Chain A
Amino acid sequence: MKIENDDIYLYILKKSGLTNRLALKLCKLFKNCRAIFEIDPDQLLFKGFGMPSDECPENMLLLNFNDAEIAAVIKILNKARDKENILIEEAKMFYDEIISKDIKWTGVFMDDYPKRLLDIPDPPMILYYKGRVPKEDKPCVSIIGARECSPYGEKTATMFAKELSISGVQIISGLARGIDGIAQRNSIKAGGSTFGVLGCGVDVIYPKENDDIFNDILINGGLLSEFEPGTQPLRQYFPSRNRIISGLSDIVLVVEARKRSGTYITVTQALEQGREVYAVPGRITDALSDGCNNLIASGAGVAVDPNAVLEELREIFKKNKINNVQTSEFKETVTSGNADLQVKNTDKKGSIGKTYVSVKESLAERIISALSYNDMSLDGLYLMFNEEFTIEDMSVALIDLETEGRIKKRGNKYFAN
C-alpha cells in the first residue's frame, strides 16, 4: 500500500486532538484531509463575528458550528500547522510500521471506505483492516449473540451462518466467544466470506479461544478495527466496536441474548442506525432466549429459518435499486438455497413421522427423541423411562450416541445435536 498525502493528513487530523464529531464534519465537507488544513481561519470566523448568513461562504454554513466549536477548530488546526513537519514524519513512520505488519487502512472520505458506515451517525475516521473490507454489492448480515451460549444457540448460529454464507451473504461479527465465533467459524467452513470487527488492534488476537479463526478469516474476508494496531482490548472499546458491526450490515441477526446484555445494547444501536433486526426465537422459559423473544415481541423480524432473512435482504436490495446483474445473481443463490432448505425440512418431517410410527424403538432412539424436546441428565432420562433400563445400560447407550456425535454432554446434561 502506498502512503498518499491524504493518509498523512488523516493521521495528523486524528492526532490533532479534534473530536471525532468535528473532524467528521470537516471531512465530509472537504472530502480531502489536506484541504482541511488549508482552510482560511477567516472563513470559519465569518459566522463567529455575527456576519449575516448570506455573506458567509456557502460550504461554511453547512458545518453549522457554534462559536465555541469554531474557536476550538481554529486553535487545534493552528497548533497542528505549527508542528506540521514533525507530524508528517511521525505519520510516515506510523504507516511504514503498519505496512510492515501487513495492515491496511481506509479513511472516511476514501473510495474503499465501506459506504454502509457512512449512513451511521458517527462512522470511524479511519478503519484499519487485514484481508479486505466487505463488498458493497453483496449483502451483509451480522450474527451476534451471547458469549455463554447454549447448545441450542450453537446449533442455530451454525445453521444460519452456513446457509447465509452459501447464499453469498457476507457475515459480520465480533469474533467474540460464543455465538460470534461459532457463526464466523462456520461461515468460513461453508466457504463464505466473513468479517470480524475487533475491539482491539487488528494485530491483537483476542479472545485466544478463537485464534484459529484469525488466520482463516483472511482467506476470504477480513479483520476490521477502528483502533490503532497494537491496541489492547479494553471493556470500554466494545460498545463502539458494536456500532461498526451493526453499521456494516444490512440486517442484524440476534441468535441468543439475555434481556440485559451487550447484545441487547448492540441491537439498540442497530435500530438507531436504521438497520433491520431479526431474532431467532427460543423457548420462553430460557433466560438465554429472553432477549430474542422480547425483541420479537417489540417488532423485530422472526428468524424462523435462513430463508426469512434472505427474503428480507432481497427486499432491501430491491429498495436500494442495486445493479441488476448482481441482484439476479443473488436471487439465484437465494432460490437455490431455498430449495435446499425445503428438501431438508421434508427430511426432518419424514424422520419425525417415523419415530411415531415405530412401535418398539431402541433405547438409543428413545433417548434421541427425549433429548430433542429438552436437554436432560442421565438421572432425568432414567426417571423419564420409568426405570425401565438400568443406569449401566443407559450410560452405555449415551456414550454410544455421543461417540457417534448424535448427542453432546455439557456438565451433567445431554443435548441432542
Chain B
Amino acid sequence: MVSYVNSGTVFGIESYIICVETDTSNGLPTFDMVGMLNSEVREAKERVKVSLKNNGFSIPPLRITVNLSPADIRKDGTKFDLPIAISLLISLGEIEQKSTEETVFLGELGLDGELKFVKGVLPIVIEAKKQGFKRIIVPKENSFEAAAIEGIEVFGLSSLLEVVRFLSLEENERINDYPPVKIDIDELFKSHQYDYDVDFADITGQKELKRACVIAAAGFHHVLMIGPPGCGKTMAAKRMPTILPPLSYEESLEVSKIYSVSGYIKKFGSLMVKRPYNSPHHTITENALSGGGNVPKPGVISLSHRGVLFLDEAVHFDKRALEILRQPLEDRKIVISRSAGTFEYPSDFMLIAAVNPCPCGFYPDRNRCRCSENQIKNYIGKLSGPIMDRIDICVYSEAIEYDNLKNAGNNEEDSASLRKKIIIARNIQEERFKGNKIRFNSEMTIREIEKYCKLEPADEVFLEKAFRNMRLSARAYHKILRVARTIADLDGKERITKRHLAEALNYRMGNEYIQ
C-alpha cells in the first residue's frame, strides 16, 4: 500500500512542498530511499528505523521504498525524518492516511524518538500557507518560528509518540491537549525591536560622527568613516542598528527567511525583529561574503539584508572580496551561479566602511604622520571606484582627549530620541516615494534627484561656487544633493536650502583621497 505525507524543503532561498511516498510490498526485505537525496536525507533511514523500534513499533521484513517527490529537486537537511516515519507508519497501517491530510510535517528524529530542531522552517511554512495547507507539525523548538505566519495552524510537538497520538485524535479532541501555537507579533516587535545593550548615549563627544550617523540612518546612505585607531568608529557602527527605522513585518519576513535557511534562528526563536548587523573580519573570503557552496548558502552580505554591513579596516579586505560588493550595492541583490543552478539572494544593506586616514593612522597630525600624499591616496584608493561611488557620506573623526572623556556629562542624546527624528524623516520619504520602487533618499537615481532635489537659484549659485572652490567632481554633485535631501527631511523642510547643502558638503570625500 502506498502512503503520502507532505513535507517541504528549501533550495537556495526558494521553498518547495515535498510529498513523501512510501510503499511496502513483499519481496526481499530492503529499505530503499530515492528522490535526489543528499547524504543527510539518506541517513534518515537509520534514524527512522531505530526510533520506530525504540518506540514500540516493529518493522516487518518487507520491501520498503520511500520516494521524495518531485524527484528532480535536490533535498537536504534532516527535516524529512518525521515525515518518512509517519509515512512508513501509515503504510504499515499504524496510522490512518486520512489523519495526515492538509498537514505538513517537519522534524529530525533522535534514536529515542525525540523531535529535534531543524533549519529552514519559516520559508516552508510560508510556502505551505500559500499552497493552502491547514496545519503544520514542527518540533517544539521551531514552533515560534513557524507561528510567525498567520493563517496556518502550527503545532509544536516534542516526540514521535506525541505526533502519533496527535494524529490518532479527532480534530475537536486535539484542541485541549495540543492547542495550536500562537505568538503575538505586535508584542514581539514592540518588546524586542530595540532591545539592545548598546546605545548612542555611550559615545562621548564625537558630535560630527554622531550627526553623520543620524543622516545616514535617516536616508539609508552608505558611510565611510575615516579616523585614527581607537576614535570610536566601531563603536558608532555597532550602534547604528539602534537608530535605524524599525523593520516592518514584511521586511522582517525577508530577513527571517534568510536567517532561517542559514540556521541562524535560535531554538524557540521567532522572527528577526531587529535590523541585522554584521561585522566580518577582514580576512573573510569572497565566498563567505557573497554566499558559497555547491548549493550556495546566503553569505554575510545577504545576512546583512535590511541591516548594516560594517567593514572595519576596509582597505585590508581582500581586493576580490571587496569587488563582490559591486553588484549588491548596485542591484540590492546578489546572483550566484553554480552547477546546481542560479541563486538569487536579496542583499539590500547599509555599508559602513571604517578606515584609518593613512597607513600609519595619524594624518593630518603631521607631528606623528610621515606618510606621503601618494601613500595616503593609495591607501584609501584600495577601495575601488565603483564602491566609493556608492558611498554618499564620508565622515572624519578624531581620537577623543582624556579631559573631554572625563568631563563628559550625561547629556548625550540617546538612541531612542535620535530614532524619533529619524522615523519622521523616514515617513517623509515613504510619502515621497509612494508608488515608486525606491524607499530611501540614498536610492534616488539622477532622474529622481532632478525631480525631488530642486534648488532655488541663489542656492544653485552657492553650490556652484562651493564646487569650484573645493574642486569637487561631477560625481560628488549627486551625492551631495542626495545627502542634502535627507538633511532637509530631518529638518522637516520641503525645499533644500543653502543650510542643508552646506551641511551635506561637510560630509564629502576629501580631495586628498580622490585618485
Partner-contacting stretch, out of A48-56, A122-130, A160-168, A398-406: A398-406
Give complex CA distance A405, B465 in Å.
11
- Tell me if B506 and A395 are in contact (CB < 8 A): yes
- Tell me if A378 and B512 are in contact (CB < 8 A): no
- Tell me if A411 and B506 are in contact (CB < 8 A): no
Partner-contacting stretch, out of A39-47, A58-66, A281-289: A281-289
A177 contact set on B, CB distance < 8 A = 372-373
Closest chain-A Cβ to B77's Cβ sits at a distance in Å of 51
Residue of B nearest to A285 (CB): B367
Give complex CA distance A355, B340 in Å.
74
Contact bitstring B366-407, A, C-beta under 8 A = 1, else 0 = 111111110000000000000000000000111000001000
Q: Which of B205, B363, B364 contacts A379 (CB 8 A)?
A: B205
Whether A15 is near chain B, meaning CB under 8 Å from some CB there, is: no
Closest chain-A Cβ to B224's Cβ sits at a distance in Å of 13
Contact bitstring B352-370, A, C-beta under 8 A = 1, else 0 = 0000010000011011111
Contact bitstring B211-239, A, C-beta under 8 A = 1, else 0 = 10000000000000011000000000000
Closest chain-A Cβ to B189's Cβ sits at a distance in Å of 32
Tell me whether A379 and B207 are in contact in the complex, defined as CB-CB below 8 angstroms, given that A399-B466, A411-B512 are known contacts: yes
- Tell me if B207 and A150 are in contact (CB < 8 A): no
Residue of B nearest to A404 (CB): B469
Whether A409 is near chain B, meaning CB under 8 Å from some CB there, is: yes
Q: Which of B211, B372, B396, B470 contacts A402 (CB 8 A)?
A: B470
A411 contact set on B, CB distance < 8 A = 226, 357, 363-364, 396, 510, 512
B369 contact set on A, CB distance < 8 A = 148
Whether B503 is near chain A, meaning CB under 8 Å from some CB there, is: yes
Residue of A nearest to B364 (CB): A411
Give complex CA distance A410, B363 in Å.
9
- Tell me if B364 and A403 are in contact (CB < 8 A): no
- Interface residue count on the A side (C-beta < 8 Å): 33
- Tell me if B499 and A396 are in contact (CB < 8 A): yes
Whether A413 is near chain B, meaning CB under 8 Å from some CB there, is: yes
Whether B208 is near chain A, meaning CB under 8 Å from some CB there, is: yes
Tell me whether A412 and B503 are in contact in the complex, defined as CB-CB below 8 angstroms, given that A379-B205, A379-B206, A391-B211 are known contacts: no
Give complex CA distance A395, B499 in Å.
9
- Tell me if B205 and A378 are in contact (CB < 8 A): no
Q: Which of A242-277 contact B (CB under 8 A)?
A: 258
Whether A147 is near chain B, meaning CB under 8 Å from some CB there, is: yes
Interface centre among A378, A399, A411 (most CB of B within 10 A): A411
- Tell me if B466 and A148 are in contact (CB < 8 A): no
- Tell me if A412 and B466 are in contact (CB < 8 A): no
Closest chain-B Cβ to A333's Cβ sits at a distance in Å of 34
- Tell me if B512 and A410 are in contact (CB < 8 A): yes
- Tell me if A380 and B372 are in contact (CB < 8 A): no
A398 contact set on B, CB distance < 8 A = 506
B366 contact set on A, CB distance < 8 A = 148, 150, 286-288
- Tell me if A147 and B462 are in contact (CB < 8 A): no
A148 contact set on B, CB distance < 8 A = 366, 369-373
A402 contact set on B, CB distance < 8 A = 466, 469-470
Whether B502 is near chain A, meaning CB under 8 Å from some CB there, is: yes
Closest chain-A Cβ to B218's Cβ sits at a distance in Å of 13
Interface centre among A148, A375, A413 (most CB of B within 10 A): A148
Give complex CA distance A177, B375 in Å.
13
Closest chain-A Cβ to B397's Cβ sits at a distance in Å of 7
A410 contact set on B, CB distance < 8 A = 364, 510, 512
A383 contact set on B, CB distance < 8 A = 205, 404
- Tell me if B364 and A413 are in contact (CB < 8 A): yes
Tell me whether A287 and B373 are in contact in the complex, defined as CB-CB below 8 angstroms, given that A399-B502, A400-B502, A412-B396 are known contacts: no
Give complex CA distance A302, B419 in Å.
57
Whether B48 is near chain A, meaning CB under 8 Å from some CB there, is: no
Give complex CA distance A400, B459 in Å.
12
Interface centre among B364, B366, B367 (most CB of A within 10 A): B366
- Tell me if A399 and B503 are in contact (CB < 8 A): yes
- Tell me if B506 and A378 are in contact (CB < 8 A): yes
Residue of A nearest to B210 (CB): A391
Whether A382 is near chain B, meaning CB under 8 Å from some CB there, is: yes
A404 contact set on B, CB distance < 8 A = 469
Whether B505 is near chain A, meaning CB under 8 Å from some CB there, is: yes
Give complex CA distance A109, B367 in Å.
46
Give complex CA distance A147, B376 in Å.
13
Q: Which of A331-364 contact B (CB under 8 A)?
A: none
Give complex CA distance A290, B498 in Å.
43
Name 7 A/B residue pairs within 8 A (Cβ), A-sorted. Answer: A177-B373, A382-B207, A391-B210, A403-B462, A411-B226, A411-B364, A412-B398
Given A382-B208, A399-B502, 9 new contacts (CB under 8 A):
A391-B207, A391-B210, A391-B211, A395-B506, A396-B499, A399-B466, A403-B466, A411-B357, A412-B364
CB-CB nearest 9 A-B residue pairs: A412-B396, A411-B364, A399-B502, A395-B506, A396-B502, A287-B367, A391-B207, A410-B364, A403-B466
Interface residues of B (CB under 8 A from A): 205-211, 226-227, 357, 363-364, 366-373, 396-398, 404, 462, 465-466, 469-470, 487, 498-499, 502-503, 505-506, 510, 512
